[in-house]
Amino acid sequence: MPVILRQLAEWVGGEVVGDADTPIDAARPLSDAQAGDITFAEDDRHIEQMHHCPAAAAVVPLKTTLTVKPLIRVGDPLMAFAQIAQRLKGPPPPPPTGVHPLACVHPTATIGHDVCIDPFAVIGPGCVIGARCRIGSGVNLGSNCHLGDDVTLHPNVVLYAGCILGRSVIVHSNTVIGADGFGYRPHDGRQVKVPQLGHVEIGDDVEIGACTTIDRGTFGPTRIGAGTKIDNLVQIAHNCQVGQHNLFVSQVGIAGSSSAGDHVVIAGQSGIADHIHIGARAIIGAMAGVHKNVPDGAAMLGIPATPIIEQKRILKTLEKLPKMRQELMQIKKALRLPDEPADDATT
């Protein structure tokens, strides 16, 4: 049965502008939309592209006036479009439940109800798996891991012994939680391993990307607070204490024993030195290198990181640096100041 624009608007509580009976086949983003599709636009730049887009209709912000095609106006077009796309696709098939005969579950593990454990997963002795957890194929849980309800571990995730995950945690494929921290003591020219006896504790609603590593504490826990979201290829070293509702973008690295308050954002490829505290609500720009404590609410950028307003001033002046040098030489000449022979006058 075909769907019309009015129905879509009802699903998301939006307002139709134009022909509410426009039939809609599918939901696709602007760059891929075809005739018969509904698409969406988040800002003015996208709305301009509407003129060249064959889509039959679009989800747009409340203030948008556009007459080239029928619209659904909503407060958050992206989220409304996501809802529409999901409903048009139909619900995903209900995940199977039960332990696959080719999974290895230790007899001392406790498995909640409606859990799905895929083939080639290994659940170690003493593990406790909450209700409705989904354990992908090739996942390995060391001994005594505890998973809250509704946890999803995608294929090939590894949890070392003793990891504790809260409810509704999602971990993407090939991420490793609880490996030994990088701790050695130099002794007679060799590096002697410091035993890594701690574990990892992850709060409710945390999501962790693919190929990320979170090391176990040396003696106590490495902690990730509830609601924090961590992207792919991130390194969180031993003993870190990360607050709630943080966002750590891809390829960020946080060295040992550092901590972050709540609502911290660290943009891509930034590095935080060891034993540093990042205050609550701080924002660390991309590719920054932080080696001092950051106060609550600060915005930092650069290597070494400084307040963003200072860093931008430095960066802007930096572009003029070769010119500044020429001016300096001009001034010295005008003043007949001696030019040291060791100095290279070419720039």
Report, as residue numbers or ranges, the catalytic residues.
238
Instruction: Give the 3-state secondary structure of 205-267.
Output: CCEECCCCEECCCCCCEEEECCCCEECCCCEECCCCEECCCCEECCCCEECCCCEECCCCEEC
CB distance 54 to 39 below 8 Å? no
**Rounded-to-integer distance, Cα 124 and Cα 127, Å:** 6
- Shortest gap between Cβ of 76 and a second copy (angstroms)? 7
Residue 321's contacts (CB-CB under 8 Å, 6 or more residues apart) are none
**Rounded-to-integer distance, Cα 280 and Cα 10, Å:** 39
Question: Closest CB to a second copy among 7 and 34?
Answer: 34
Question: Closest CB to a second copy among 1 and 334?
Answer: 334
**Rounded-to-integer distance, Cα 179 and Cα 160, Å:** 6
Residue 11 three-state SS: helix
Residue 204's contacts (CB-CB under 8 Å, 6 or more residues apart) are 148, 166, 167, 168, 169, 226, 227
CB distance 49 to 64 below 8 Å? no
Pairing between β-strand 190-193 and β-strand 184-187 as defined by DSSP bridges: antiparallel
- Shortest gap between Cβ of 54 and a second copy (angstroms)? 14
For 19, left (φ over 0), alpha (ψ -120 to 50), or beta?
A: beta
Tell me which residue of 132, 133, 150, 134 sits closest to 204, measured CA to CA: 150
- Shortest gap between Cβ of 95 and a second copy (angstroms)? 11
State the residue for tokens 């010295």: 332
Distance, C-alpha 260 to centroid of its chain: 15
